[in-house]
Amino acid sequence: MKIVLLMIVVLISFILTRIYYGKHWKKRLQVSLQFSQETAHEGEWVSLEEVITNNKAMPLPALKVKFQLSRFMVIENQDMKHVTDHYYRNDLFSIGGFKQVTRRIPVMATRRGPYRVDGVQVVGSDIFFSKQHAWILESSTQLLVTPKNYTIGTGDLPFRTMWGDVVSKLKLYEDFSAFAGLRDYQPGDPIQKINWKASAKSGDWQVNYYDTTMDKRLHIVLHAERGPMSHEEELREELLRLGVSFTSSALSIGQSVSLECNVSGSDGGTPLMVPEGSSMGHLSTIEIGLAGIDYETIFDAKRMQQAMRERMELGDGNDFSAEEENYNTSVLYITYSLRPEFEKRIRARIRTGAPCCLVIIGEKLPTLPQELMGCTALWTPRNL
């Protein structure tokens, strides 16, 4: 009889415990997944932080947190060879009453773009491990991965060569804040340069002259084409990486940078056009803009000109076509496919004598006209 009563008590306790856990297991339970930073470069390790907080006395002996990550998000010390579309993660926690547990998972994105933690599900078991209860969370954490930033000028020899080409073609002009002295008047000197006081004192016409300084404006033109071509995806990504890399190097030596790309940005409707800026914060603006490129829409020259006119009509205060026409602005053209339409644009600028440089991404340079030979550099991506 005592055994029967004991069994009844145990059964009632078991049932009540299951009912109690079923009703209260997720009360005052907080589960959050958060990347340790909002942005990162391709190939940069960050942490995905799982924080479980149990603000009640009832312990949770077995709590599973399940979620999925993109196959382009690598987890440290994890075999990702057989991941096809998404990687499914299943983490097990045991947490007592009024406790908090934090777990940091090192992750690295191998491609640019936005990454979210999707399909987050919390599964709790009662103390007897007899029943599981599921709770689906809405994930709000996101990591924006920007194109890789190469060190141009101090890295590999091809980069030093290319950056040297760009710098050597930057136009030198007189810096009127850097007075250097006086010299005799020469035919063709503008009247504004005449130093009247010095001329009256010496009896001969004297003009001011100034130190020259390097042009501090760089306009970057990223030009994409639609295939088919071998390694097209890698070439497209390398185009954006070079855009970030040259921007970073130019800003570091005091240049102001504007950028245009004939591909739709994150808004999906217009090409990416970033007005001139000179602060290192401007680099973040360009990085974020290029991270959102989707290659769904590629604009030809005619549509690019129309988009530029529309931007001017909206009063953005930056005429991108004027940037290229300005002789005191160096223009850096970057492409992986030198089509006749784009080549025509570059040749037109070269003929004006204005400073410019062309970087072609690929395994070898195509056959080029003579006027392009002296201002063209080749960059071969490491993955080709």
Domain at 228, CATH number: 3.40.50
| Predicted confidence (pLDDT) at residue 87 exceeds the cutoff of 60 | yes
Q: Is 138 in the same domain as 161? A: no
What's the pLDDT band for 177 if we cut at 50, 70, 90? Answer: very low
Distance CA 227, CA 166 (A): 28
Q: Is 235 in the same domain as 256? A: yes
Residue 319 has a pLDDT of 64
| Predicted confidence (pLDDT) at residue 187 exceeds the cutoff of 50 | yes
More confident residue, 201 or 346: 346
Closest CA to 52 of 64, 41, 42: 64
Number of neighbouring beta carbons within 10 Å of residue 325: 13
Would residue 3 count as lying in a domain? no
Q: Is 204 in the same domain as 286? A: no
Query: Which tokens go with 177?
Result: 């804040």
Would residue 288 count as lying in a domain? yes
What's the pLDDT band for 320 if we cut at 50, 70, 90? Answer: low
Q: Is the pTM of this model over 0.85?
A: no
Classify burial at 174, counting beta carbons within 10 Å of its beta carbon; exposed 0-12, middle 13-18, buried 19 or more: middle
| pLDDT tens, residue by residue, 262-289 | 998 766 678 999 999 988 799 999 999 9
Q: Is 64 in the same domain as 98? A: yes
Q: Is 311 in the same domain as 219? A: yes
Instruction: State how many domains the chain has.
Output: 3
Per-residue pLDDT, averaged over 97-102, amounts to 95
Distance CA 219, CA 265 (A): 18
| Predicted confidence (pLDDT) at residue 247 exceeds the cutoff of 60 | yes
Q: Is 116 in the same domain as 222? A: no
Would residue 87 count as lying in a domain? yes
State the pairing for strand pair 86-95/39-41.
unpaired
Per-residue pLDDT, averaged over 132-147, amounts to 90
CATH of the domain at 71: 2.60.40.10
Q: Is 271 in the same domain as 371? A: yes
What's the pLDDT band for 147 if we cut at 50, 70, 90? Answer: very high
| Predicted confidence (pLDDT) at residue 75 exceeds the cutoff of 70 | yes
| Predicted confidence (pLDDT) at residue 44 exceeds the cutoff of 60 | yes
Residue 49 has a pLDDT of 96
Would residue 18 count as lying in a domain? no
Would residue 1 count as lying in a domain? no
Phi, psi dihedrals of residue 380, rounded to the nearest 5°? -105, 115
| 20 Cβ contact list (under 8 Å, min separation 6) | 58
Q: Is 163 in the same domain as 275? A: yes
Query: Which tokens go with 103?
Result: 């777990």
Residue 15 has a pLDDT of 83
Facing residues of 270 across strands?
A: none
| pLDDT tens, residue by residue, 347-380 | 988 888 888 889 999 999 989 988 888 888 899 8
**Whole-Å CA distances, 259 to 85, 263, 266, 289, 318:** 34, 12, 15, 10, 11
Would residue 79 count as lying in a domain? yes
Would residue 8 count as lying in a domain? no
Indicate the angle between helix axes 340-352 and 301-313, nearest 10 degrees.
60
Would residue 11 count as lying in a domain? no
Per-residue pLDDT, averaged over 184-211, amounts to 74
Q: Is 193 in the same domain as 225? A: no
Q: Is 268 in the same domain as 179? A: no
Q: Is 111 in the same domain as 219? A: no
Q: What is the mean pLDDT of the chain?
A: 83
Report how many helices (DSSP H) and strands (DSSP E) the chain contains, helices first: 9, 19
Residue 265 has a pLDDT of 75
Residue 315 has a pLDDT of 59
**Whole-Å CA distances, 329 to 23, 172, 183, 309, 349:** 68, 10, 28, 20, 11
Distance CA 279, CA 273 (A): 17
* Residue 133 near residue 124 (C-beta atoms within 8 A): yes
What is the domain extent for residue 284?
157-170+215-379
Residue 77 has a pLDDT of 79
Q: Is 192 in the same domain as 161? A: no
